[in-house]
Structure 1
Amino acid sequence: MAREEVCILTNMCMIYDENRILVLDRKKSDWNGITFPGGHVEFKESFVDSVIREVKEETGLTITDVKLCGLKQFTHKMGNYRYIVFLYKTDKYEGELKSSCEGEVFWIEKSSLKEYKLADGFLEMFEVFENDNLSENYHWFSENNWKVQNK
């Protein structure tokens, strides 16, 4: 059995301020709807540096003191690669909020999240950001359907 596999490495960050969270209404991908800012890890870039860069590009904010709070992973339904999203959170940020070509960014109350059109699977992933007893949002394709489990 091979010990290597093709992986796509990405990140996402929940920026919070008391009971508010910063969301991105993503328009520029196959994963449309409300999410958190984030993106791909570039070659020879640390995971932390990548999330700081992606947040700056998508929101205009500079974040610090980011904490890894979990991950999301899934294997492509054709089984030829694994997609891993490192989940971070912080309440330390500075700068002027501005939207980007990725979509509009704005603050909402955490309690109102379900009122928005969320990207597929985002609500289950949000549980990992919020619950310290969870560390993984895992998706797999079985019997022609996606299955989801938080661990």
Structure 2
Amino acid sequence: MKINHELYTMCMIEKDDKVLLINRPTKRGFPGYIAPGGKVDYPESIVDGAIREVREETGLIVTDIIYKGLAEYCEPQTGLRSMVFNYLATSFEGELLEDPPEGELIWIEKDKAMELPMQDWFRSRFPLFFQTGTFEISLVWDKENQAAISSIEKNYVERVKVT
């Protein structure tokens, strides 16, 4: 079986006590509120892909970005491994697009964001952007039975010594 790797980014944009989210319509897939992001173009770097996606989806140019973690999704039956590199942007330049391509853009207080409709996987990931350190999420999915085979979530606040 051929293994297919897909690389994506997601970038939470934070200003003061608010975050910028996109209200993605059903027709675009993954409906509900979500942070900007998308596919990494070959051969751009992962971080450059995150910065480009923010610019394309919001009009903002990221000037300060922090790597927050990796979320991966694997389907053994199809050979798909999808990896999402997650970032937090805390400063930027520019103005929001008047007609954004992925959906309506809204600034919302961080503590109110979880009240918005969003995909379960994004809801569980949302607080991880604001925690100290980095995170790693790995989900192996049985596509045929629509069930998780395994799921791992780790948070790295300091170095972990492997013995």
Using the size of structure 2 for normalisation, the TM-score is 0.82
State the Cα deviation string for residues 66-96 of structure 1 (Å, max 9, x = none): 1111011111363411000000011111111
1:86 equivalent in structure 2 = 85
Are the counterparts in 2 of residues 134 and 150 from structure 1 also a CA contact under 8 Å? no
1:44 equivalent in structure 2 = 43
List runs of 5+ in structure 2 lacking aligned partners.
155-163
Are the counterparts in 1 of residues 67 and 134 from structure 2 also a CA contact under 8 Å? no
**Identity of paired residues, percent?**
35
State the Cα deviation string for residues 13-49 of structure 1 (Å, max 9, x = none): 0110121111011125321111100110001111111
Runs of 4+ aligned residues of structure 1 deviating over 6 Å after TM superposition are none
Letter in 1 for 2:84: V
Matches of 2:104 and 2:152 in 1, distance apart? Answer: 29
CA displacement at 1:124 relative to structure 2:
1.2
Letter in 2 for 1:20: K
Give the 3 Å change call, closer, same or farther, for CA 30–120 of structure 1 in structure 2. Answer: farther
Which of 5, 8, 13 lines up with 1:7 in the alignment? 5
State the Cα deviation string for residues 93-121 of structure 1 (Å, max 9, x = none): 11111241211111000101121101231
List runs of 5+ in structure 1 lacking aligned partners.
none
Higher strand fraction: Structure 1 or Structure 2?
2
Using the size of structure 1 for normalisation, the TM-score is 0.88
Task: Provide the secondary structure at the position in 2 that maps to 1:82.
Answer: strand
